[in-house]
Every structure is written in C-alpha cells, then in structure tokens.
Amino acid sequence: MPSRFAARGSDREIETGARFMPEFDENGLISCIVTNADDGEVLMLAHMNEDALVRTIETGDAWFWSRTHQQLWRKGESSGNTLTIQEMRVDCDQDVILIKVRISGGGVACHTGARSCFYRRMPVKRPADNSIALTFVEDLKR
Amino acid sequence: MPSRFAARGSDREIETGARFMPEFDENGLISCIVTNADDGEVLMLAHMNEDALVRTIETGDAWFWSRTHQQLWRKGESSGNTLTIQEMRVDCDQDVILIKVRISGGGVACHTGARSCFYRRMPVKRPADNSIALTFVEDLKR
C-alpha cells in the first residue's frame, strides 16, 4: 500500500529538510510523546500507525493505534478525555512525534485515573536489582 | 539470561504497585523520554536495553542502546553533552521510562546541534499528504 506521506529521503533531507517524511517501524508504528500544552508535563507515550497519524493531522485530535486491542483509537472516545492538539512536532530522525495537547473532560490522560501515566518515581544511584521500590507522586483516583 | 529486575506481575501489581518490574519489548528494549529538568522541555526519545537501564540507575547518568550502532552508549561520551539525571519515573504499564536531566557541556541533546531533537513543527488541521511542510522552531548550529 503506498504511503500517504513523502518517501524517506537522504539523512540530510530527513534531518535538516522542511519536508515531513515519517518513518514507521517494522510493525508500521511511530512513537508519539504527549505533553500538557499548559505546563509541559509529560502525560503518556503512545503509538500511531499511518491511519492514526493521518487522522490526527487532519482532525487536530489525537488518534493512536492500540497495540493491546489491535485497533484504531481516538484517545478519550470512551472516557471523554480527548486530546486536542495545540502543537505538533517531529524529531531529527522523523521517527518520533511530539504533541502538546489540552485534555477535555476530567483532565486525566492515564486509564488509571492519574493525570499523567508517569505517577511513580524511581530511585537513582543505588543498586539496580529486583527490589527497586517506586514512590507515588500522584494518587490514583480509581 | 535472568533479568536483574523483578519479574512482571499481574496488571494490578504493575499499575498500582510500588515494585519496579519493567517490560522490555521483543528487541529487549524499553523507550525512554528525556526532558530538561529545568524547564520541562522534551529533548529526545531513546531506547535502553537491560544493561543501559542498570547503568543509568546505578550511575545517575543516562545510558542508552544505540539501535544504529548496536552498542551500549553513554549519552554525551563523545560530545561532552552527558545527561545527569535529576529525576526518574516509570509509566503505568512499566514499559516507558521518563528521565528529567541536566545537560553538561554545550547544553544540546541532539546530534544535529539543536538543544532538543524536536526542532521542527508540523501543521495540523490540513490534508495529510506527501507535501506537508515543516517549520523550524530552533536553528541547527552545525
């Protein structure tokens, strides 16, 4: 199936050019980092296939590919927490997307009820073994 | 090879527990989002294998697995732009790491010379076709 997007060019075209030529991985997916447009907090990492990326660009709402359910997924369709894109960026290699969003509904991005999926802190500068304890920085509401 | 980390538990243990039990993908990698600790700007997305994750936790410097060079890589080893971790988090599914860092050296995270890898903005609410034009939000210094 031909892509809707431009074919990949040289490294120079990809990194320093002004043409969007995204790379999808061996599963047809591209990673997408989601941040809160108001304060920059990282909310989640999700994946888009080509259809999800097309719908996201065209509608301004975040669409993803659910690897768990193997289906296209408009984020917030069931929870009401849709993500409206304020700004969209691509990285140097054009294999990662960054979207800065406003969250509708309850204002939470994570299915656990947390605002951000990153609600637990890890310790650093200690032995990395099987007893690493996490600290909650946000309470889960469910 | 047995993992250095705890084995994966139930969904409940993974999502609401206080034990670190990371999931590596079919290539043995876990995604890692890097932000600037001072202002929260998203700098890059990279990948860690188990060795890189162990070294990152134990040293407090960011180590990654370079998929291009197929080798362990202390970020900034050649450029001097090492990443010192101020805070480390894990997401709900424990398959994504977030690190908030201070950059040594020239203060740039991207190999292009840009501070962040996300130096180009994409348009939204327009047709998604092969002529999408990117806008530079940061000049490349090289």
- Summarize pLDDT for A108-139 with one digit per residue, the tens: 999 999 999 999 999 999 999 999 999 999 98
Confidence grade of residue A140 (pLDDT, cut at 50, 70, 90): confident
- pLDDT value at position A116? 97
Region of B132 on the Ramachandran plot (φ > 0 left; ψ -120 to 50 alpha; else beta): beta
Confidence grade of residue A141 (pLDDT, cut at 50, 70, 90): low
Mean predicted confidence (pLDDT) in B11-26: 97
Is the CB of A96 inside 8 Å of chain B's CB atoms?
yes
Is the CB of B27 inside 8 Å of chain A's CB atoms?
no
Strands of the A135-136 sheet, one edge to the other: A135-136, A120-122, B83-90, B96-103, B30-36, B42-48
Q: Which residue of B has its CA nearest to A52?
A: B128
Min Cα separation B69/chain A (Å): 15
Q: Do B128 and A5 touch (CB under 8 A)?
A: yes
> A with B: how many residue pairs have Cβ under 8 Å apart?
178
When comparing pLDDT for A57 and A105, which is higher?
A57
Cβ atoms B109, B34 nearer than 8 A: yes
Mean predicted confidence (pLDDT) in B38-49: 97
Chain A hits for B30, CB-CB cut-off 8 Å, are: none
Cβ atoms A80, A105 nearer than 8 A: yes
**Of the partner residues B6, B17, B85, the one whose CB lies closest to the CB of residue A124:** B85
Q: Which residue of A has its CA nearest to B40?
A: A40
Is the CB of B33 inside 8 Å of chain A's CB atoms?
yes
